[in-house]
Structure 1
Amino acid sequence: MYPVATTLRGPSSAPPTMISMDMQQPCVLVVDDDPDLRKLIGEFLSAHGYQVDVAENVAEMRKSIAQRRPDLIVLDVMMPGEDGLSAARALASERGSPAVIMLSALGNDTDRIIGLEVGADDYLAKPCNPRELLARVRALLRRSQASSEQADHRGNVYEFAGWRLDVVRRDLRDPTGIFINLSDGEFALLRTFVEHPQRVLSRDQLLDYARGRDTDVYDRAIDSQISRLRRKINERVHTELIRTVRNEGYMLLPGVSRL
């Protein structure tokens, strides 16, 4: 049944016995209260080379994460008990949290934007094509890996207006030295801004630099990510750092030095 990977594993199961998969293959945690959909997605991802864990609710998701930390979570929005939005918000507040793709039967723009605003990196409406989900999983994991591999150990810290961003450690510090947690999307955007300071970046450029053209992301998703990034910055200082340039895009105002 699983041509590449092992059987699916729930949080209460013993660690799976690997058959032919390289242990370095990324791990995806599928969280959905629908057992058929859970099985379908899990088997499809497993057949394409991923280690897969499954959970039917948020409580089981947390148990599974405690046993084996995933590289990415496919998370349903509407579940009994704690919902996916609350779980995504909690995950986004954790340092080094895995990437999150949200699934929901609520597919209008408002619901998508809410999902992105609480911390998800991508959002798919149900029913979704497993191949599209696979493409998005690959894109998110590829972006995360490229971010690590491309950063060198010299000059990997950017300083701007007293803030410091370490792009290797994915570590943002405010002017007082306090750590600020960023989601994958927020980190990608801020890194884009510090690498292109004092320059107006259009939404298309931000899509190219930060999110990648291999994902189906619309302009308003960028607006939501920037809104969240601004909120986190403005909680610490009240100086405008990222300006909206009407009909053109966004610009990081302060100069940037690379340490």
Structure 2
Amino acid sequence: MSPPLILIAERQRDARLEVRQSLEQSGFRALPAASAADIWRAMDEMIVGAVVLDTDLRGPDGMDLCRDVRERSDVPIILVGAHSSEVDRVVGLELGADDYLAKPYSTRELAARLRAVLRRRRRGEAVGTHRQTEAHFDGWIVDFARREIRDPGGAIVELTAAEFSLLAAILDHPQRVIARARLMEMAGVRAAPSSDRSIDVLISRLRRKLTYQHSSAPIVTVRGAGYMFSATVQWR
């Protein structure tokens, strides 16, 4: 099986070439992109394993492109940018990124984070192969074989790889409080300081997607302890 293709959407030409060379030395295939048009062309013509997306890309900026790519695909996205504040990371995650890396960064760290998001995606694709393939709760149906979730009205709700992995983790432990650190580990979210809000942003995104009409998502915040999936889950 050929290694995954990583799309490198980076503003600076020298940086694109440096990252491409480094990723190829790390065992990936890499394709540089200088604009939004390059991104859409690549995604139309080939299977992209992950996108490294510069927040300062020319034309539509990286943040806007992150949202647009996420609306179109569940491909893993790692945002890279010159700003490293918590606000920047949270905004990126809210727009659908799977990870955020501040510039200047080590290409070795980038390769490690790419491996992490790709492992997370593979876990999401494989989850359920050792058990029943469907989970049912409150009229929702999670089909692990197809990696699909349907709302009570039968419509498919799109989840990113990170969101699907998180949902799979909490469905495995319904009506039990799971600590934030443990949930990050179970869902495959990268190790981070206790102050990092990555898992909270993912929970917020998942809650919005699991809200149906006037029924809120069955994910409860237990202050000082973590999160709990409050609905009864039936496996079939």
Q: Normalising by structure 1, what TM-score?
A: 0.86
Equivalent runs, 1:55-74 vs 2, <5 Å: 55-74=33-52
Q: Supply the AA of the counterpart residue of 1:54.
A: P
Runs of 4+ off more than 4 Å: none
* Residue correspondences, number: 234
1:166 is matched with: 143
Deviations, residues 41-97 of structure 1 (Å, cap 9, x unaligned): 1110011111111100112111111111211100011122111111111222235x2
Q: Supply the AA of the counterpart residue of 2:67.
A: R
Q: Does 2:110 align with 1:124?
A: no
1:9 is matched with: none
2:129 is matched with: 152
RMSD of aligned residue pairs (Cα, Å): 1.6
Q: Matches of 2:102 and 2:167 in 1, distance apart?
A: 27
2:231 is matched with: 254
Distance 1:211 1:59, change over 3 A: same
Q: Matches of 1:211 and 1:258 in 2, distance apart?
A: 23
Distance 1:153 1:199, change over 3 A: closer
What is the SS of the residue equivalent to 2:177? coil
Q: Does 2:167 align with 1:190?
A: yes
Deviations, residues 114-173 of structure 1 (Å, cap 9, x unaligned): 001110000000000111101101111122223334531751111111111112321011
2:3 is matched with: 25
Q: Tell me by how many angstroms 1:235 deviates.
A: 5.1
Q: Supply the AA of the counterpart residue of 2:162.
A: G
From 65, 74, 82, give the equivalent of 1:105: 82
Q: Matches of 1:244 and 1:150 in 2, distance apart?
A: 25
Aligned residues with identical type, % of pairs: 37
Q: Does 2:216 align with 1:223?
A: no
Distance 1:65 1:131, change over 3 A: same
Bigger mean CA offset, 223-232 vs 86-95:
86-95
From 197, 203, 209, give the equivalent of 2:186: 209
Gaps spanning 5+ residues in structure 1: where? 1-22
Q: Does 2:52 align with 1:77?
A: no
Q: Matches of 1:108 and 1:163 in 2, distance apart?
A: 37
2:222 is matched with: 245
Gaps spanning 5+ residues in structure 2: where? none
Bigger mean CA offset, 227-236 vs 142-151:
142-151
Larger of the two Rg values belongs to structure: 1
Q: Tell me by how many angstroms 1:232 deviates.
A: 1.6
Q: Matches of 1:150 and 1:257 in 2, distance apart?
A: 16
What is the SS of the residue equivalent to 1:244? strand
